[in-house]
A and B are shown apart, each in its own frame.
Chain A
Amino acid sequence: MPFSTYLDGIRGDCRELVAQLGRHFEYVSILGTDVRSTAYNADRKMSNARDNEGECGFVIKMHSGRSFYEYSCDDISADKKALAEKITNAVKTDGALDDRRIKTAEISDEPMIKDFVRENDFDKYSDEYLLKVCKDISDKLCAKDEKVLNAICAIQTHTVSKLFVTKNRELSQYYGWANGGKFVIYNDGKMVQARKSEGAGTLAEIIEKLYKGLDEVIDLAKHLTKAEPVKPGVYDVITDSSITGLIAHEAFGHGVEMDQFVKDRAMAKHCVGQYVASPITNMHDGAAAAQSVASYFFDDDGVLAHDTQIIKDGILVAGLSDLGSATQLGTEPTGNGRRDNYRRKAYSRMTNTFFSKGTDKLEDMIASVKHGYMLFETNNGMEDPKNWQIQCTAEYGIEIKDGKLTENYVSPVVMSGSVPELLKSISMISDEFEIHGSGFCGKGYKEWVRVSDGGPNLKARVKLG
């Protein structure tokens, strides 16, 4: 499917409304979104083929020279003068707040007219075929072992059309992403869940990945039935690329979202130019930094995608900003302004966040550990950018003894502690590299956006409990 015909047809209305509101505001932008998502899943008892929640609407952003104003609505086709008046009334404030407004620099509105498209193969696959794949994989997993109580296979496609219009700028973008996952509920005296999630730009890749590793998911489930929680303590750990990404994201990514700099909510604000990690550590973020679920052409403020190096040789060099925070800080926005959907505010958000690969071999890294754990598969994490504490939970870990992986699994594994201590403890980085594009990220407990993260294997020393 190409760029939304609806958004394409409403470009003129956007320009007209920008002009109308431009009589009252110094800067006006309109972001139109048309996002569609389809989901297929099957398990032992049920199946489903349906549209997931998409969105189709507009957010109009205005700037008075001081505060920002936003209005979200479903339709802008009405009389523009009346609509502009309605919008202006909807964002009025109590007079007592008139003197309590931020001061910002002027917003740059560099001229640009461009349409961006990243093709996908979603239309090549019928609903019937995709549902059949889900049922087939579910059946195959259930047939592998009688202890499998249920096996679920899911595929999702996600297409995004966005139109951004200001007085001088008109951008459009169309891109897509696909996710897949297999999930087993297994009971061998102890009930466990084992899962494997995938992300890719095409359905062909997702289907291929889903069919791979069926035995591995069952094998993981078997091991998890024997797993115990880890004995609390400080250990040498080796991370898989998923946990590397979780550390990049939670330990440091949130801390360099520059809307937190504006609010004095991030310790990183005071650490630019300082060592924050081991000197062998390099970290990036950007919609243009990798090809994954968060790879777009321009952000929700109409700023083109960047590749931002956050940590260079252990030194913090840059943060991530949206238009609002960059305007307040007097910096250039980095293309990280993202919204949960058109109903929500844009914040500085991560996109594709990862540590760069190093030169060590994974086998040498494992061999270097006398006693510790290799940690696998992200479960969840929580940031604390002000105080630089972290909590990251891995689905499971495998004990390493005398430089060798054992058959001892632990689950769940909660990593916690001080961010600088963790990052400065990184002593080896592998020459392998993988990005995982199946996750979502919240800001606090809300504002969910799709993100990817990953990198190489890391060797670090952390508290597990």
Chain B
Amino acid sequence: MKNLINILDNYSGIDGYRVIEKTVKSYELFFVHRDLETVRSTDTTSTEVTVYVKHDGFEGDSVFHVFKSMTDGDIKNKIKTAAARALLVSNQPYELPDKGELEAELPTNLDKYEPETLGRMIADAVYDADTEPGGSINALEIFIYRDTTHVINSRGVDKKQTVNRVMIEAIPTFTDEKQSVELYEDYRFTVFDKEKLTAEIAEKMKEVADRYKAEKPGRELNINVVLRPHETAWLCGELAYDCNYRAIYMHANLHKEGDVLQTGDGDKINLTMRGVIEGSENAAFFDGDGASLKDTQIIKDGVVCGSYGAVRFGQYLGIKEPSGALGCLELGAGTLTDEEIEKEPYIECASMSGIQIDLYNDYIGGEIRLAYLHENGAVTPITGITMSAKLSEVLSNLRLSEKTDVMRNYKGPVKLLMKGVSVL
């Protein structure tokens, strides 16, 4: 890195630069059923350089990548090519963030163990949940990462952040002589809690047994549908992208500040973009420009109230203090209790193929692999169904649970209730 910065500092044909160096060290275990198939380890670094050239009242920029295989001569040639490309580009100028030094590490307990010990402990935690008769875990992949991101720019930013994280992909399966069914699940955490992990996998083992029992309902339904955090986070992500500086600058945003998203009497949406959510692997103290992050509320009581994003597009929009590229979402808690949910028949989506949300076409829907139909005091697992609804109507009348949790980059209600959804 020092050599690269030295070359950039001494190159006369550019007006600025930004370097993002990402080092990833990983230890990975791949199990087939209960047997170890593959052990992997990685130690790699990727380096992305952006150079900026001012010309004719405009600014051009261009990106290249530096590999370990490159000599100083190769790097200088790359800078030369990038500078020439930047001269072809006539974009609106913007200022990179200036000054600021930081070296931070997100809280974790993962670094207390040797990787091979932690890998075995995680495997034990997962397989300890494999106690359901007929159940099994047909595949398990464990990824233990230590990621370090280092951003340096020509205006005095020098910031480094390290994240220790684990990603697990587990496939709970239920088999008997007639058929076999599975659910796909992934888990991500920055703090290892054996009991919590075993309990979460055990819950999925119960659900896959339910998928085995599940049947397609004999009728078309128009019913309340409850989403879990995975799908709610996806919905929030779509709403958030619509408020991103870049989307606004590119005229790709559907809504603007002051637009009312909710006209019904449901719980009001309060959505805030955050840099850090405790326990999230997406938590960050700075973005790719090295800009400090400023938490920003983008939807308040169902009304679009703000925007967020990288400093470049923030400056293009004339925003004095751009938020930086915030990566975490917090959806405010609602008022919905479990007792209220039970007042009307509903289905709770436990596993979807992938929720489909289209703001432009006012659509929300998707195939449901496993859901629970709560009706007349009975709970019945169902499968083979597809839901669809108008997104605007869902937003207007949705209800949000009081109880919240953290999943990936999302913190918010554990249940989102959509009213009157068509289920075929």
Contact of A345 among B35, B40, B180, B182 (CB under 8 A): B40
Q: Are A416 and B386 also in contact (CB < 8 A) when A345-B28, A386-B182 are?
A: yes
B window 379-393: CB within 8 A of A:
383-384, 386-388, 390
With a CB–CB cut-off of 8 A, which chain B residues contact A34?
69
B193 within 8 A of A: no
Q: How many A-B residue pairs have CB under 8 A?
A: 235
With a CB–CB cut-off of 8 A, which chain A residues contact B356?
380, 391, 393, 412, 414
A163 CB, min distance to chain B CBs, angstroms: 12
B32 CB, min distance to chain A CBs, angstroms: 5
**Contact call B62/A102, Cβ cutoff below 8 A:** no
Contact of A72 among B44, B123, B354 (CB under 8 A): B44
**Contact call A43/B69, Cβ cutoff below 8 A:** no
A56 within 8 A of B: yes
Q: Are A94 and B33 also in contact (CB < 8 A) when A54-B65, A416-B353 are?
A: no
**Contact call A265/B388, Cβ cutoff below 8 A:** no
B-contact 0/1 string along A60-80, CB 8 Å cutoff: 000000011111111100000
Q: Are A53 and B43 also in contact (CB < 8 A) when A149-B251, A229-B362 are?
A: no
B102 within 8 A of A: no
B-contact 0/1 string along A77-93, CB 8 Å cutoff: 00000000001001111
Q: Whole-angstrom distance between the alpha carbons of A158 and B276 in the complex? A: 36
B-contact 0/1 string along A407-426, CB 8 Å cutoff: 00001101011100000000
In the complex formed, the residue of B with least CB distance to A72 is: B42
Q: Whole-angstrom distance between the alpha carbons of A265 and B85 in the complex? A: 48
**Contact call A414/B250, Cβ cutoff below 8 A:** no
With a CB–CB cut-off of 8 A, which chain A residues contact B424?
232-233, 463, 465
**Contact call B251/A185, Cβ cutoff below 8 A:** yes
Q: Give the interface SS of chain B, mostly helix, strand, loop or mixed.
A: strand
With a CB–CB cut-off of 8 A, which chain B residues contact A342?
44
With a CB–CB cut-off of 8 A, which chain A residues contact B390?
229
A44 CB, min distance to chain B CBs, angstroms: 8
B window 89-103: CB within 8 A of A:
89-92
B361 within 8 A of A: yes
B422 within 8 A of A: yes
Q: Whole-angstrom distance between the alpha carbons of A190 and B24 in the complex? A: 44
In the complex formed, the residue of A with least CB distance to B25 is: A90
Q: Whole-angstrom distance between the alpha carbons of A390 and B354 in the complex? A: 10
With a CB–CB cut-off of 8 A, which chain B residues contact A93?
29, 36, 39, 116, 119-120
B162 within 8 A of A: no
Contact of B37 among A192, A264, A324 (CB under 8 A): A324
**Contact call A264/B173, Cβ cutoff below 8 A:** yes
Contact of A324 among B38, B119, B123 (CB under 8 A): B38
Q: Whole-angstrom distance between the alpha carbons of A150 and B250 in the complex? A: 7
In the complex formed, the residue of A with least CB distance to B124 is: A96
A321 CB, min distance to chain B CBs, angstroms: 14
Interface centre among A96, A233, A342 (most CB of B within 10 A): A96
Q: Are A389 and B361 also in contact (CB < 8 A) when A48-B89, A263-B33, A265-B138 are?
A: no
**Contact call A391/B354, Cβ cutoff below 8 A:** yes
With a CB–CB cut-off of 8 A, which chain A residues contact B249?
45
**Contact call A51/B63, Cβ cutoff below 8 A:** yes
B174 CB, min distance to chain A CBs, angstroms: 10
Q: Whole-angstrom distance between the alpha carbons of A92 and B114 in the complex? A: 11
**Contact call A414/B386, Cβ cutoff below 8 A:** yes
**Contact call A387/B181, Cβ cutoff below 8 A:** yes
**Contact call A67/B38, Cβ cutoff below 8 A:** yes
With a CB–CB cut-off of 8 A, which chain B residues contact A127?
84-85, 88
**Contact call B40/A70, Cβ cutoff below 8 A:** yes
Q: Whole-angstrom distance between the alpha carbons of A394 and B22 in the complex? A: 36
Interface centre among B37, B62, B249 (most CB of A within 10 A): B37
**Contact call B42/A56, Cβ cutoff below 8 A:** no
With a CB–CB cut-off of 8 A, which chain B residues contact A232?
386, 388, 422, 424
A212 within 8 A of B: no
Stretch among B196-204, B319-327, B363-371 lining the A interface: B363-371
A156 within 8 A of B: no
With a CB–CB cut-off of 8 A, which chain B residues contact A343?
24, 42, 44
A50 within 8 A of B: yes
**Contact call B64/A51, Cβ cutoff below 8 A:** yes
A120 within 8 A of B: no
With a CB–CB cut-off of 8 A, which chain A residues contact B43?
71-74, 90
A window 382-404: CB within 8 A of B:
382, 384, 386-387, 389-391, 393
B77 within 8 A of A: no
With a CB–CB cut-off of 8 A, which chain B residues contact A386?
173, 180-182
Q: Are A131 and B89 also in contact (CB < 8 A) when A265-B182, A343-B24, A391-B366 are?
A: yes
B145 CB, min distance to chain A CBs, angstroms: 11
**Contact call B38/A97, Cβ cutoff below 8 A:** no
B252 within 8 A of A: yes
**Contact call B138/A264, Cβ cutoff below 8 A:** yes
B17 within 8 A of A: no
In the complex formed, the residue of B with least CB distance to A86 is: B43
A-B contact pairs, 11 of them (CB 8 A): A44-B251, A51-B64, A70-B41, A93-B120, A185-B252, A345-B38, A345-B40, A387-B211, A387-B369, A389-B353, A393-B356
**Closest 6 CB pairs between A and B?**
A94-B120, A391-B353, A90-B41, A56-B67, A416-B367, A74-B68
Q: Name 4 extra pairs, CB < 8 A, besides A92-B39, A417-B386.
A: A90-B41, A94-B120, A384-B353, A416-B366
